Chain A
Amino acid sequence: MSIRLIKRMSLALGLGIATLTLSACDGVTVGVGYGYDPFYDSMLWNDYYHDVDVDIDIDRPNRPDRPVRPERPKPPVAKPPARPRPPVARPPVARPPIHRPGPRR
């Protein structure tokens, strides 16, 4: 039983170490692709445009200046309406009382 256990353990350990060792044999960089390869692509296009009448660097006329933004119209300046004043009640005209006591006789 114990010999069997030792055999199994040695197999497991051996395979485990072997796996680690084999994976260590691989480089650390995996899956390096040619995603962005600007210089390669540029050389292709260099060949494409070589000796062809189409000049992609045509001297185009200068870009026109940006249009001047029209001035924002100013709203007519108007005085703010006068603040409404509350009607002032006039004091009642002082009138002599109609009925006056007659003068003493």
Chain B
Amino acid sequence: MRSFSCSILALCGAFYVGTAAPALADTPVTYTEEGQALFRFEVPDFWILRTGGPREIEDTGLGDARAVARVIGFRPVTDDAVWMGFVSPAGVGTIQGGVRYLQDIDRFLVKDPTMTSTSDTRIGGLPARVFRGTGHRDGKGVSFTATVIDLPQGRVAIAVAILRDGADPSFADDLNAVFASFRALQ
């Protein structure tokens, strides 16, 4: 009996040691469409990932069901002041098309957006255009980074990162780490 309880204690001790020094391995996530992997990135530790999937949604006012692409969103477990999402919309193949796609952003993601900077860069070795700006959402100020990444074979990846005002600035490092881990898979 006593040896049994002692072994439980030893087991939990192992857990304790394990949790006290967590492994610093991020979680790779692959964005796939119809079996074809488009890109991958790494989700920071202690973030919640929402995978979503291809689906149809319908505006009740329009009565028109349309297919929308998978949206992968994630945020820290302990804080909803930070959010990041990826989508690879169907039928958008160029950065110009991606920019037009992002022009709808003012209707949904952020209210009264003000663009503060636009820059062309490379993310994961691929050409990308980054828009930074500020706006409002739910009565709070937010700053956003919307990115169009030109994937090979006529696809783009749209990445949107949002930091609400008052969010811990160290989360920006996590967001940058996600961009740094971005790789196309084709």
A43 at interface, CB cutoff 8 A: yes
Query: Is the Cβ of B105 less than 8 Å from the Cβ of A48?
Result: no
Contact mask for chain A residues 61-97; partner B; CB cutoff 8 A; 1 contact, 0 none:
0000000000000000000000000000000000000
Q: Give the interface size class of chain B.
A: 35 or more
- Which residues does chain B contribute within 8 Å of A51, judged by CB atoms? 91, 100-101
Query: Is the Cβ of A37 less than 8 Å from the Cβ of B73?
Result: yes
Alpha-carbon distance between A38 and B15 when the two chains are bound, in angstroms: 36
B173 at interface, CB cutoff 8 A: no
Interface residue from B1, B16, B87, B137 paired with A43 (Cβ < 8 Å): B87
CB proximity to B under 8 Å, residues A1-40: 7, 10-11, 13-15, 17-18, 21-22, 24-25, 27, 29, 32, 34, 37-40
Judged by DSSP, the binding face of B is mixed
* Segment of B2-10, B119-127, B174-182 in the binding face: B2-10
CB proximity to A under 8 Å, residues B68-124: 68-69, 71, 73, 77-78, 83, 85, 87, 89, 91-92, 100-101, 104-105, 107-109
Known: A43-B73, A44-B71. A52 touches B66 (CB 8 A): yes
- Which residues does chain A contribute within 8 Å of B5, judged by CB atoms? 10-11, 13-15, 18
Query: Is the Cβ of B77 less than 8 Å from the Cβ of A47?
Result: no
Interface residue from B2, B77, B87, B91 paired with A7 (Cβ < 8 Å): B2
- Which residues does chain A contribute within 8 Å of B48, judged by CB atoms? 32
- Which residues does chain A contribute within 8 Å of B89, judged by CB atoms? 47, 50
Query: Is the Cβ of B66 less than 8 Å from the Cβ of A48?
Result: yes
Tally A residues with Cβ within 8 Å of B. 34
Query: Is the Cβ of B77 less than 8 Å from the Cβ of A29?
Result: yes
B12 at interface, CB cutoff 8 A: yes
Judged by DSSP, the binding face of A is helix
Alpha-carbon distance between A46 and B113 when the two chains are bound, in angstroms: 15
B128 at interface, CB cutoff 8 A: no
Query: Is the Cβ of B108 less than 8 Å from the Cβ of A45?
Result: yes
Q: Closest B residue to A57 by CB, please name it.
A: B107
Alpha-carbon distance between A15 and B48 when the two chains are bound, in angstroms: 32
Interface residues of A (CB under 8 A from B): 7, 10-11, 13-15, 17-18, 21-22, 24-25, 27, 29, 32, 34, 37-40, 42-52, 54, 56-57
Interface residues of B (CB under 8 A from A): 1-2, 4-6, 8-9, 12, 15-16, 19, 48, 50, 52, 57, 59, 62, 64, 66, 68-69, 71, 73, 77-78, 83, 85, 87, 89, 91-92, 100-101, 104-105, 107-109, 137-138, 160, 162
Given contacts A47-B71, A49-B104, 16 further A-B pairs with CB under 8 A are A7-B1, A11-B4, A14-B2, A14-B5, A17-B9, A18-B8, A25-B12, A25-B15, A38-B137, A39-B85, A39-B160, A45-B108, A46-B105, A48-B57, A51-B100, A52-B66
